[in-house]
Each structure stands twice: as structure tokens, then as C-alpha cells.
Chain A
Amino acid sequence: QKEVEQDPGPLSVPEGAIVSLNCTYSNSAFQYFMWYRQYSRKGPELLMYTYSSGNKEDGRFTAQVDKSSKYISLFIRDSQPSDSATYLCAMRTSGTYKYIFGTGTRLKVLA
């Protein structure tokens, strides 16, 4: 079993929809969580960073961490075709430099 699991998709939604992207993990010691967006043939771009549990909002993006369920989510409101990309989650424990990445979920927002 991988430490971080992410559905590869593709996930297709119509423009304007609310998108929910998720990762599950097995290591209860993970404390730091990140979401990246990666366009085709580009490097990952940091979207959201959260520490421990709770929600964090930035514009149309909301990141949620549920440590009791070992589950993190990224919500995208009013999705746009420009949101079409692969979304990667990443996480680490405290006291280590090593992030564990999910394999990514490919999102397609249809105009």
C-alpha cells in the first residue's frame, strides 16, 4: 500500500462546477500538507499549504485536512477551463525534509 493515494482520474466537469480533489494517507504522523497544480509539460506549481488540521481558503481554492480520517481535500469553486491540469498532493512529518507525493489527479474542465 502506498503512503499517499490519489485517484488518477481523469475527472471531467463542466465549467462553473465545484471540484473536489482528494488524497488519503496511511501515516498518522503527517503534519504538513501541500497541493500543487501541474500543467502539461510544466513543473508543479504550489497552490495551497496547510499545517495540521482545518481549512484554508485562497480565492476559489479551499484546502481541508481531516487528520482523524487521514484525508485531505482541495475544492475548486467556479471551475474554469484554465483549471484543467493535474493536481498533486504532498505531505510530510515534522522534523523531516522528505515530502511524499501522490501520483496526481488529472482534471478537465469543459467549456
Chain B
Amino acid sequence: NAGVTQTPKFQVLKTGQSMTLQCAQDMNHNSMYWYRQDPGMGLRLIYYSASEGTTDKGEVPNGYNVSRLNKREFSLRLESAAPSQTSVYFCAVQAPPANEQFFGPGTRLTVL
């Protein structure tokens, strides 16, 4: 997980609360991703950013917003948390030219 950091590591929210998950990389790559990982579901893509200032929806974007204000940071925001958003969230950075993805350590989120 070297090069990709995520904060916080753990978070408990009540239904309806908001929060922002932070991701930062020191790998100097353009493409960054947010995934959620749930038992039996594997990793599912929430949002993707090809470069600073650009974002695209993934497989499960509903209930989330993202922000890519600079090359280094990509944040994920839950505006009104729901129990269905209880999950482990991973940020990843894609490295050219082979386009392998490198993951951060994750944020474990529980919504009560």
C-alpha cells in the first residue's frame, strides 16, 4: 500500500450524517479510483478520476460525490449516510504504462 494513504481508518456514523473520506497519493499518477468492498460482492467501483478536475461514475455511484481538486488528492463524500453504505472503502491509483492499480489501506465505515 505504499504511496496511497487514506483517512480516517475507521468511522461510525448515524443515518443522515455526512462525512468525507480522504485519499492522497505520492506516486504522481493521474488516475485514481474509489471502490467499496462488501462480503460476497467483491470490489465495486464507485467513482473514477482520470486527472485533476475530471470524474466519472462507476458501478455504484448513488449516494456519493467525489472531488479531485489536485493531482495528489481524491475525496469521497457521503452527504446523507445510510446503513447500506456500511462497507470498507478503498482508494486506488493506476500506474502507467501497464495500468496496474495500487490500493490504499482502506476506511472501515459503519452507518447505524
Which A residues contact B (CB, under 8 angstroms)?
A: 4, 8, 32, 34, 36, 41-46, 49, 51, 88, 90, 97-99, 101-104
- Kindly identify which residue among A46, A90, A97, A102 contacts B48, using a CB–CB cutoff of 8 Å: A97
Interface centre among A34, A51, A102, A103, by most chain B C-beta atoms within 10 angstroms, is A103
Stretch from B12-20, B60-68, B72-80, B93-101 at the A interface: B93-101
Per-position 1/0 for B51-70, Cβ under 8 A of A? 00000001000000000000
A34 in contact with B1 given A88-B43, A98-B45, A103-B40 (CB within 8 Å): no
Q: What residue in chain A is nearest B41 (Cβ atoms)? A: A103
Between A and B, 7 residue pairs with Cβ closer than 8 Å are: A34-B101, A41-B106, A43-B105, A45-B103, A46-B102, A97-B99, A98-B45
The residues of B that contact A42 with a CB separation of less than 8 Å are 1, 105-106
C-alpha spacing A102/B44, complex, angstroms: 10
| Inter-chain residue pair count (beta carbon < 8 A) | 52
Interface centre among B45, B50, B94, B99, by most chain A C-beta atoms within 10 angstroms, is B99
Interface of B is mostly: strand
Interface centre among A8, A43, A44, by most chain B C-beta atoms within 10 angstroms, is A43
A88 in contact with B100 given A97-B31, A97-B50 (CB within 8 Å): no
The residues of B that contact A88 with a CB separation of less than 8 Å are 42-43
| Chain A proximity of B82: nearest CB distance (Å) | 23
- Kindly identify which residue among B4, B42, B48, B94 contacts A103, using a CB–CB cutoff of 8 Å: B42
| Chain B proximity of A85: nearest CB distance (Å) | 14
The residues of B that contact A49 with a CB separation of less than 8 Å are 98, 100
